[in-house]
Amino acid sequence: MTIGIDKIAFYTPNYVLDLVTLAKARGDEPDKYTIGIGQNRQTVVPNFEDVVTMGANAAIKIITADDREKIDLIIFATESGIDNSKSSALYMQTLLELSEFVRTIELKQACYAGTYGLMQARDYVATHPGRRVLVVASDIARYGLSTSGEVTQGAGAIAMIVSEAPKIVSINTDSVYMSRNASDFWRPVDRQEALVDGHLSTDIYKEMFLTLWQRYQLKTNQQLNDFAGFAFHLPYTKMGKKALDQIINEATLAHQQKLTHHLKASQKFNREVGNLYTGSVYLSLLSLLSYATDLKSGDKLAIFSYGSGAEAELYSVTLQNGFENHVPAKMTQQLLLKRQLVSVNQYETMFKSQLYDSHININSNAVKDTKLFQFLGWHNGERVYR
Ligand code: HMG
């Protein structure tokens, strides 16, 4: 049975900060942000959006009546969850009006959890032919004002429906993975901003990629020339280049050019949004499928998923017949184009306006006249959504 990603959609809030403007405000060289880090803009999150609203706003774009009948499991991957007990999948199930006869679960392991969710979804469909799984990866990457991580902030959600006979890619059973307890990035439960050793995290990412690439080759006998492209977890787009540079010489010269061209395609959306933790590698996949117009069915793509702390997985997907008709390239481009640019002052105000205190009954700045799901505020310790 062929199993994989049947549908995919992306959502990010409507506000965006230009990083040249931010660099100037922070007294940094703009080229450091746009070339050294490789980011152009980052999404700014208003206080009426969170991982639940972003996840639901992504998923609603792809769920049909048929999916509603066939989805048995909702997997919600996040490291910026809104409750220490209740799963974000439950809130989302309500907003999306999905059946009560489903399993709902939230997964956490930094940016890696979305990939684990996808693997669980594939295994579920393998043992339940005809059934489907909704996998959502939704996060807000938040480091703090004027920190070195600030330039790598961002937010958004990816929703995917996993089924048999998928329309976009099949997920191959060739994964290699590893876990190692490392102190490169973490967020204690009483903090809203991540603690990070940025340079250590970059080194561990590179090392785990190289280790897994070598392990993958031993396991599968595949060579770099067998892959039409890579989708990397992209905390910032330069990270993908740093990883690929370690192995690119293994390809023929012509193939090196192709991989470099496709790496650029895989970075385009991420450049405009910033890090979205769990969803980042799948936004990169969506970007690659949207911009690499020479890809064809049967091509194999490698996916490298990394989550600090640290855990990583490398596996491949195969493009399905007619995949290009099911990639929401235009819809995603339009979503990014129509965002409202904010000044550094507006960004800082929004950054400080998040409603983290559940003890106070308070309304968010939710806007009227929108069809989007929103967080309305706290009422008696409960989060209220519309
Ligand atoms: P930094 O110390 O501010 O920057 O931190 P830098 O001094 O290292 O400079 C960055 C790059 O810009 C360097 O290039 C400079 O040479 C270049 P590199 O040597 O790396 O190729 N540069 C310039 N280029 C052109 N013109 C100029 C110029 N000036 C400098 N004028 C850092 C950067 C990414 C470390 C920081 O932003 C950070 O800590 N970010 C957060 C952590 C992170 O993103 N880590 C990535 C790997 S870990 C991961 O992916 C997991 C994660 O997503 C979390 C999770 O799993 O949940 C983060």
Cβ(288)–Cβ(231) under 8 Å?
A: yes
Ligand 1 atom nearest to 275, measured from its CA: 53
Any idea which residue has 């590179």 for tokens?
Answer: 206
Cα distances (Å, whole numbers) of residue 244 to 71, 317, 349: 36, 18, 38
Active-site residues, by number, are: 79, 111, 233
d(C-alpha 94, C-alpha 100), whole Å: 9
CA distances from 34 to 53, 93, 158, 271 (A): 29, 38, 24, 9
Q: How many angstroms separate the CA atoms of 215 and 311, rounded? A: 15
| Residues 168 and 7 sit within 8 Å (Cβ to Cβ) | yes
For ligand 1, residues with CB inside 6 Å are: 29, 31-32, 35-37, 79, 110-111, 148-149, 151-152, 185, 196, 198-199, 201-202, 205, 233, 235-236, 238-239, 275, 277, 306-308
Per the document, the length of the chain is: 386
Looking at residue 193, the DSSP 8-state letter turns out to be S
Instruction: Give the pLDDT of residue 347.
Output: 98
Tell me what pLDDT residue 226 has: 98
User: What parts of the chain have a pLDDT lower than 50?
Assistant: none
Contact 269, 284 (CB under 8 A): yes
Rounded CA separation 46/365 (Å): 8
How much is the pLDDT for 114?
98
233 Cα nearest atom in ligand 1: 50
Q: Which tokens in the block code for residue 77?
A: 């991957």
55: phi then psi, degrees, rounded to nearest 5 = -60, -45
Query: What is the model's pLDDT at position 266?
Result: 98
Cβ contact 133:98 at 8 Å? no
Centre of ligand 1 from the C-alpha of residue 353, in Å: 27
> What is the C-alpha to C-alpha distance for residues 173 and 66, in angstroms, rounded to an integer?
27
The residue to mutate among 35, 37, 281, 283, having the most atoms of ligand 1 within 8 angstroms of its beta carbon, is 37
Q: 344-359, pLDDT tens digit by residue?
A: 999 999 999 999 999 9
Output the pLDDT for position 164. 98
Query: 314 - beta bridge partners?
Result: 176, 304
Cis ω before 77 (30° cut-off from 0): no
Q: Over the range 346-366, which residues count as b (16 or more CB within 10 Å of their CB) and which as e?
A: ebbebbeebbeeeeeeeebeb
Give the number of the atom of ligand 1 that is nearest the alpha carbon of residue 277: 53
